[in-house]
Amino acid sequence: MPIKTSRSAFNGRYLATATLAVLMAACADTPIQKAHAESPVKTPAPSSSPSIPIAQPPEPVAQEQTFNQWKQQFRKEAITSGINEALFDRAFAEVVPDPGILRADSSQPEFTRPVWEYLDGALSSTRISRAQRLLGEHASTLTAIEQAYGVDRHILVAIWGLESNFGSNMGDNYVIRALATLAHQGRRPDFAHAQLLAALEILQHGDIAPVSMLGSWAGAMGQTQFIPTTYNSHAVDFDGDNKRDIWNSSADALGSAANYLKVSNWDSGQPWGAEVALVEDFDYALADISVRKTLAEWTALGVRSAQGGPLTFADDNQTASLLLPAGYRGPAFLVLNNFRSILRYNNSTSYALAIGLLAERMQGRGEIAASWPKGDTPLARSERLELQRRLKEVGYDPGGVDGIIGANTRQALRNFQIALGLPADGYPSKSLLEKLRTFQ
Ligand code: CA
């Protein structure tokens, strides 16, 4: 899974040295609007953007120390913090920087997949049938996990399926090497530094042997793709062998995911949300994860079930947010507290939507009634940068020109749409960019 992080500082440097014309020349097409904030479980953002890396951005953060100098300094610090010397040396034996990790860290994909293509992959018939088979094979474990944590088994199996393809794709990087490379020379050395110390603590605890501590290039580990700090705070030994083995024990992995969702305020017995239909003149400015209303309030505003009837949930007192993943021309979803718990696992609305829908597909539900606007290709990164720059030029502050469509950019887009009398969905469409190009 690709990793998204805040890149504003980096982007600032990039734009200072490269003209927009150069950026534009490299581009053309697509992407998707998604959350980019940091996720507590892993360095975020999977899926939505399994993208096509094109341009290689400039050098990562300049470092003054050689790797060996950095390692000696880090060794002292690790030992001071309680890591055993022999363990440190064993973990770091033959560790040298990995250029592939640095390339992955500095890659900023120009093209990302539209949400409907991402969902097609996430909800493939192969994945659904494998999930259904695994639900049967692990039924007794899942029953015990549901009893212990109150988290629905279908959601857990969906997370298992999207994080590591049910344990078959956990990443094959030695986590200590990957994190050491990033702590020495990555874009976010402080983050990698903390993760590396946590990874050494895991080894010292004896949960896994160094040689078996494998994960993604960014250090997300095992069947749940937990980063080391999340592992230390939330992984559990569910199969009772005194090791928290999220690599080799599916019971430990599923139990750990359930534990994480439970502490992320999972509401037992509640759904994640549902597709809805909206009245013709709906106020699309309300469709934002930050806007929360009760079911009664949404109903009064013209939100209906996808089939057109009244909305009902098991707990009608919950507040919900309305999401339009592809803008007002695409499907609409009302999302509840459990959707927010999934976002804490991985802060991407596309990911959380895929988890909710995959869990339903396993049970023969979860088809989306409305159509996606497939002719409306999402903006490429260079186009998002242009959109933000143009918004700023005409007086709608996007909160920074970084190619990331966050809350400030959505609000700026909405204000621009309102000024033009357009549906204020805050969605960065091509037609809106076209309008900005001609707007004075
Ligand atoms: Ca165990």
Distance 276 CA to ligand 1 centre (A): 41
Q: Output the CA 310–ligand 1 centroid distance in Å.
A: 46
Give the distance (Å) from ligand 1 centre to CA of residue 144.
14
Q: Which residue in this structure is represented by tokens 């007794």?
A: 140
What's the 244 CA to ligand 1 centre distance in angstroms?
A: 5
- Give residue-wise pLDDT tens across range 204-246: 999 999 999 999 999 999 999 999 999 999 999 999 999 999 9
At residue 430, the pLDDT reads: 93
Q: Is residue 15 within 8 Å of 57, Cβ to Cβ?
A: no
Centroid of ligand 1 to alpha carbon of 229 (angstroms): 18
- What are the C-alpha distances in Å from 184 to residues 59, 191, 202, 230, 404? 14, 11, 20, 21, 26
The answer to whether the Cα torsion of 389, 323, 153, 125 is positive or negative is: negative
Round to whole Å and give the CA distance between 140 and 373: 42
Distance from Cα 243 to the centre of ligand 1, integer Å: 4
What pLDDT does residue 109 have?
87
Nearest-CA neighbor of 161 among 225, 252, 114?
Answer: 225
Residue 16 carries which side chain, given as an amino acid letter? A
> CA 316 to CA 307: how far, in whole Å?
18
Q: Give the full edge-to-edge strand order of the sheet including 273-278.
A: 293-294, 319-323, 332-335, 273-278, 303-305
* Number of residues assigned to the chain: 440
Q: For residue 246, how far is its CA from the centre of ligand 1 (angstroms)?
A: 8
Coil, strand or helix at 34: coil
- Report helix, strand or coil for 321: strand
Instruction: Give the pLDDT score at 420.
Output: 94
Instruction: Please tell me the distance between residue 146's alpha carbon and the centre of ligand 1 in angstroms.
Output: 17
Below-70 pLDDT ranges, the chain: 1-63, 440
| CA 132 / ligand 1 centre spacing (Å) | 24
75: left (phi over 0), alpha (psi -120 to 50) or beta: alpha
- Token look-up 């969605």 returns 427
Ligand 1 centre distance from Cα of residue 239 (Å): 5
Ligand 1 mean position, distance from CA 212 (Å): 15
H-run or E-run covering 303? strand 303-305
What's the token pair of residue 158? 């969906």
Token duo for residue 156: 């857990």
User: At 275, is the secondary structure helix, strand, or coil?
Assistant: strand
For residue 332, the cross-strand partners are 276
Q: Distance, CA 241 to ligand 1 centroid (Å)?
A: 5
Residues 49/2, Cβ–Cβ less than 8 Å: yes
Quote the ligand 1 centre to 72 CA distance (angstroms). Answer: 34
CB proximity list for 69: less than 8 A, separation 6 or greater: none
Q: Is 46 left (phi over 0), alpha (psi -120 to 50) or beta?
A: beta
Looking up tokens 């959350």, which residue turns up? 35
Cα 235 to middle of ligand 1, angstroms: 10
DSSP for 124-181, please give it: -HHHHHHHHHHHHHTHHHHHHHHHHH---HHHHHHHHHHHHTTTT----EEHHHHHHH
145 Cα to the center of ligand 1, angstroms:
13
Give residue 207 CA to ligand 1 midpoint distance, Å: 8
Task: Report CA(259)–ligand 1 centroid distance (Å).
Answer: 14
d(CA 293, CA 122): 29
Å from CA of 252 to ligand 1 middle: 5
Distance 255 CA to ligand 1 centre (A): 10
Cβ neighbours of residue 18 under 8 Å, at least 6 residues apart? none
Query: What is the three-class DSSP state of 304?
Result: strand
| The model scores a pTM over 0.95 | no
- Strand-pairing partners, residue 304, are 277
